[in-house]
Structure 1
């Protein structure tokens, strides 16, 4: 995926590049009890994101993906979008001054209904192959579970933190 020309001359380097966040969604478990879903996101560069999920039904997932970014308001709001091997579509809005993340996730039926199979690390060929099979579950690409959530950012820093580095030549999807 090419770098978006709109990033040239933008505040991307100051606002997003190499930014790493740890954040919690205030969600509910299958019985309606409150629980925290902890996510870790590293805006690696203008073409990739790296993340790990530490809580909730997708806990145990480590991935990196080709992403597109667009600036909504420099220094304030950025959107990051990506498509996963499971067929899940992710859209995240980073609200810098309010330290909030807002997301819309369009989970493929396979990813949502077989979320344990969506766990693992993309660097492991067996996990990656299993994830690709999850995209085939369901009657059509319209067979999705939409989830809109907001999260509070707990930590915000530069660099990989505990996430593993990636190589740009590694394929996505």
Structure 2
């Protein structure tokens, strides 16, 4: 799936800006008691079709996943949007500001994912975890979503997998 808009120039920009790029970033969030805490996330823009990520902090800590993603070039060398749908029914949209070293996200958590976040943890490569995640998507309806808008600071930016596990392109994503 090519980066949007689909042009040779956009493909060239994707290769330069995102291909194989690995970001580790922290959200300055709050826990259930309203106290400040850091939520660390890790995102690897694997290629023009896939992302690989891990969540290390916050209510979703302990989740390792990979997904089919769509990428949209907003401004080459500056701003990119990455969107994906999870097995849990959660809709994710991430904007990467290269120059400001920021991540801005909007997450539309399914009711099952949000209310039973312990069940959303694990590694997609484990069949039991994947099946449990799929079950979370069946809880609630499209209007039973929790919207979470957050902004994070990038703390590491490099190329390659780092500590994340690679994937095979033929592995299903939903």
TM range (shorter): over 0.9
Runs of 4+ in 1 over 6 A off after TM superposition: none
Residue aligning to 2:116: 114
**Alpha carbon RMSD of aligned pairs, Å?**
0.9
In structure 2, how many angstroms separate the alpha carbons of the residues matched to 1:111 and 1:53? 14
- Normalising to structure 2: TM-score of the pair? 0.96
In structure 2, how many angstroms separate the alpha carbons of the residues matched to 1:100 and 1:89? 20
In structure 2, how many angstroms separate the alpha carbons of the residues matched to 1:37 and 1:129? 26
Residue aligning to 1:9: 9
List gaps (5 residues or longer) in structure 2.
none
Residue aligning to 2:125: 123
CA-CA distance at 1:141 after TM superposition:
1.2
Residue aligning to 2:35: 33
Residue aligning to 2:63: 61
Residue deviations 1:129-159, cap 9 Å, x none?
A: 0000000111x11110000000000000000
- Inter-CA distance 77–5: structure 2 relative to 1 (3 Å threshold): closer
CA-CA distance at 1:5 after TM superposition:
5.9
Residue correspondence of structure 1 range 72-83 to structure 2 within 5 A:
72-83=74-85
CA-CA distance at 1:6 after TM superposition:
2.4
Residue correspondence of structure 1 range 129-168 to structure 2 within 5 A:
129-138=131-140, 140-168=141-169
Question: Equivalent residue of 1:6, what SS?
Answer: coil
Question: Equivalent residue of 1:9, what SS?
Answer: helix
CA-CA distance at 1:9 after TM superposition:
2.0
Residue correspondence of structure 1 range 79-118 to structure 2 within 5 A:
79-118=81-120
In structure 1, how many angstroms separate the alpha carbons of the residues matched to 2:101 and 2:80? 12
Residue aligning to 1:170: 171
CA-CA distance at 1:4 after TM superposition:
4.4
Aligned length: 171
- Normalising to structure 1: TM-score of the pair? 0.97
Residue deviations 1:2-21, cap 9 Å, x none?
A: 33462432210110000000
CA-CA distance at 1:48 after TM superposition:
0.1
